[in-house]
């Protein structure tokens, strides 16, 4: 039975871990906050005091950590990798992923970036969207594992293309949510009934399913129990802006949205569902 080391057991990492246990993998788990491993250890995972402890028995190391610098630090603590594959599934910058690939090579391992789109429900059901970047042969070798998490894992290209795909998609999440919130604010201020507006929007080419997913939260102003927080949305948007500038892309139109999201820092909105962005578009 294959043993995997999972580093990072937040909302998404824990769900990925649960899925791997359900489909029969042996699992070693580590988190900076050991208490966040409790659900997985209760389901049969082995908890590690240090990330390196489970390395000898593992063939693959999956990381689901907050960002690129944290991932590089934790992976660095593993020391020599002995040919093992490192699969980062969290969001990081294109340049960060390329640098981490080189770090892993110097540590004697192989590297396949595999960021995912989706959250806890999709992870538990094996319906994540996996956007891999790296060597095609390595991708083929890891397909049996990736297919337990996604029905159609995709190889986007070389290292960096998976990271670019994930950042582009998360930027769309931020922009779509912002645009929808602005539309709702104007519609409401005019006295138009939201349901009447939605009857026009849904059959149009402008409609996106995320609109209905977030409408109830925005209308009820309830943002608890998030799968993806305002804080993480802001982090990823700022990362997109940094990478866009490195690539020579003029993304200055997004600076206002980034500044708007910064207003959530230190408030309850930051830990809430990212649709809490709707509270920030109230100009009164």
Q: Where are the domains of the chain?
A: 3-158, 163-280
- Residues 18, 43 contacting (CB under 8 angstroms): yes
| Predicted pLDDT of residue 108 | 98
| Predicted pLDDT of residue 19 | 98
| Predicted pLDDT of residue 132 | 98
| Predicted pLDDT of residue 1 | 72
- Residues 237, 257 contacting (CB under 8 angstroms): yes
Per-residue pLDDT reduced to its tens digit, 154-200: 999 999 999 999 999 999 999 999 999 999 999 999 999 999 999 99
Domain 3-158 grouped into CATH 3.40.50.720: yes
| Predicted pLDDT of residue 109 | 98
Q: For every one of its 284 residues, what pLDDT tens digit does the chain have, with 9 covering 90 and above?
A: 799 999 999 999 999 999 999 999 999 999 999 999 999 999 999 999 999 998 999 999 999 999 999 999 999 999 999 999 999 999 999 999 999 999 999 999 999 999 999 999 999 999 999 999 999 999 999 999 999 999 899 999 999 999 999 999 999 999 999 999 999 999 999 999 999 999 999 999 999 999 999 999 999 999 999 999 999 999 999 999 999 999 999 999 999 999 999 999 999 999 999 999 999 999 87
Query: Which residue in 59, 169, 171 sits closest to 116, CA to CA?
Result: 169
Query: Which residue in 94, 277, 96, 71 sits closest to 181, CA to CA?
Result: 277
Question: What Å distances lie between residue 111 and 12, 75, 99, 191, 264, CA to CA?
Answer: 21, 11, 11, 54, 35
Q: Which CATH class is domain 163-280?
A: mainly alpha
- Residues 274, 177 contacting (CB under 8 angstroms): yes
Same fold, 3-158 and 163-280: no
Query: Phi/psi of residue 240, each to 5°?
Result: -60, -45
Angle (deg, nearest 10), helices 94-106 and 161-190: 150
- Around Cβ 267, how many Cβ atoms within 10 Å? 13
- Residues 240, 253 contacting (CB under 8 angstroms): no
Q: Which helix (H) or strand (E) holds 223?
A: none
Q: How far apart are CA 102 and CA 203, in angstroms?
A: 47
| Predicted pLDDT of residue 151 | 87
Q: How far apart are CA 32 and CA 65, in angstroms?
A: 10
Query: Phi/psi of residue 157, each to 5°?
Result: 155, -145
253: exposed, middle or buried (Cβ count in 10 Å: 0-12, 13-18, 19+)? exposed
| Predicted pLDDT of residue 54 | 85
């Amino acid at each position: 039975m294959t043993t995997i080391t999972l580093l990072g057991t937040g909302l998404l990492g824990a769900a990925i871990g649960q899925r791997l246990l359900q489909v029969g993998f042996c699992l070693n788990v580590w988190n900076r906050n050991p208490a966040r491993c409790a659900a997985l250890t209760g389901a049969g995972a082995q908890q590690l005091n240090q990330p390196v402890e489970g390395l000898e028995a593992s063939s693959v190391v999956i990381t689901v950590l907050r960002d690129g610098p944290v991932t590089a630090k934790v992976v660095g603590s593993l020391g020599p990798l002995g040919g093992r594959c490192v699969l980062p599934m969290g969001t990081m910058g294109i340049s960060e992923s390329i640098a981490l690939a080189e770090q892993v090579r110097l540590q004697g391992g192989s590297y396949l970036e595999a960021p995912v789109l989706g959250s806890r429900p999709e992870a538990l059901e094996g319906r994540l969207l996996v956007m891999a970047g790296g060597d095609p042969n390595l991708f083929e070798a890891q397909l049996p594992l990736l297919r337990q998490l996604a029905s159609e894992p995709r190889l986007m290209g070389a290292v960096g293309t998976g990271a670019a795909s994930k950042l582009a998609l998360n930027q769309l999440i931020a922009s779509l949510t912002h645009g929808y919130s602005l539309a709702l604010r104007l519609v409401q201020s005019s006295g138009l009934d939201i349901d009447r507006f939605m009857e026009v929007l849904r059959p149009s080419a402008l409609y996106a399913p995320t609109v209905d997913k977030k409408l109830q939260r925005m209308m009820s102003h309830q943002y608890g129990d998030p799968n993806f927080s305002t804080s993480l949305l802001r982090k990823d948007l700022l990362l997109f802006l940094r990478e866009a500038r490195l690539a020579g892309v003029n993304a200055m139109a997004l600076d206002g949205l980034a500044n708007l999201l910064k207003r959530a820092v230190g408030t309850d909105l930051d830990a809430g569902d990212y649709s809490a962005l709707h509270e920030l578009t109230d100009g009164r």
